[in-house]
Amino acid sequence: MSTVELLAPLHPQMTAWRQDIHAHPELGFQESRTAGLVAAQLELFGIPVTRGVGRTGVVGTLRCGTSARSVGLRADMDALPIVELNGFAHRSTHAGVMHACGHDGHTAMLLGAARYLAETRRFDGTVHFIFQPAEEGLGGARAMIDDGLFERFPCDAIFGMHNRPKLDIGRFAVRSGPMMAGGGYFDVRVKGRGAHGARPESGIDAALVASQIAVSLQSIVARNVAPVDTAVLSVTRIHAGEAYNVIPDTAELGGTVRAFSRDVLRQLGEGIRRVAEGTAAAYGATVEVDVREIFAPTINHPEEAEFAARICSELVGADRVERNPPLIMASEDFSFMLEKVPGCYLNIGNGVADGGCEVHNPAYDFNDRALPLGAAFFARLVETRLAA
Ligand SMILES: [Zn+2]
Ligand SMILES: [Zn+2]
SS3 247: strand
Which segment of 228-242, 249-263, 342-356 scores lowest on mean pLDDT?
342-356
Between β-strands 231-240 and 250-259, what pairing exists: parallel, antiparallel or unpaired? Answer: antiparallel
For ion ligand 2, residues whose CB falls within 5 Å: 101
pLDDT of residue 363: 94
80-116, pLDDT tens digit by residue? 999 999 999 999 999 999 999 999 999 999 999 999 9
Angle (CA) 295-129-311 rounded to 5° is 85
Between CA 196 and CA 208 the distance in angstroms is 14
Q: What is the rounded average pLDDT for all residues in the chain?
A: 97
**8 Å CB contact between 87 and 20:** no
C-alpha distances out from residue 292 to 184, 257, 266, 330, Å: 5, 10, 11, 16
Name the strand (E) or helix (H) holding 108: helix 103-120
Q: Calculate how far, in angstroms, residue 135's C-alpha sits from the geometric centre of ligand 2.
A: 7
Q: Calculate how far, in angstroms, residue 78's C-alpha sits from the geometric centre of ligand 1.
A: 9
Between CA 171 and CA 148 the distance in angstroms is 35
User: Looking at the predicted structure, is the pLDDT value of residue 196 above 90?
Assistant: yes
Q: Calculate how far, in angstroms, residue 195's C-alpha sits from the geometric centre of ligand 1.
A: 44
| Mean pLDDT (whole number) for 148-160 | 98
Q: Calculate how far, in angstroms, residue 236's C-alpha sits from the geometric centre of ligand 2.
A: 21
User: Looking at the predicted structure, is the pLDDT value of residue 355 above 80?
Assistant: no
Ligand closest in space to the Cα of 137: 1
User: Looking at the predicted structure, is the pLDDT value of residue 356 above 70?
Assistant: no
pLDDT of residue 357: 86
241-256, pLDDT tens digit by residue? 999 999 999 999 999 9
Q: Calculate how far, in angstroms, residue 137's C-alpha sits from the geometric centre of ligand 1.
A: 9
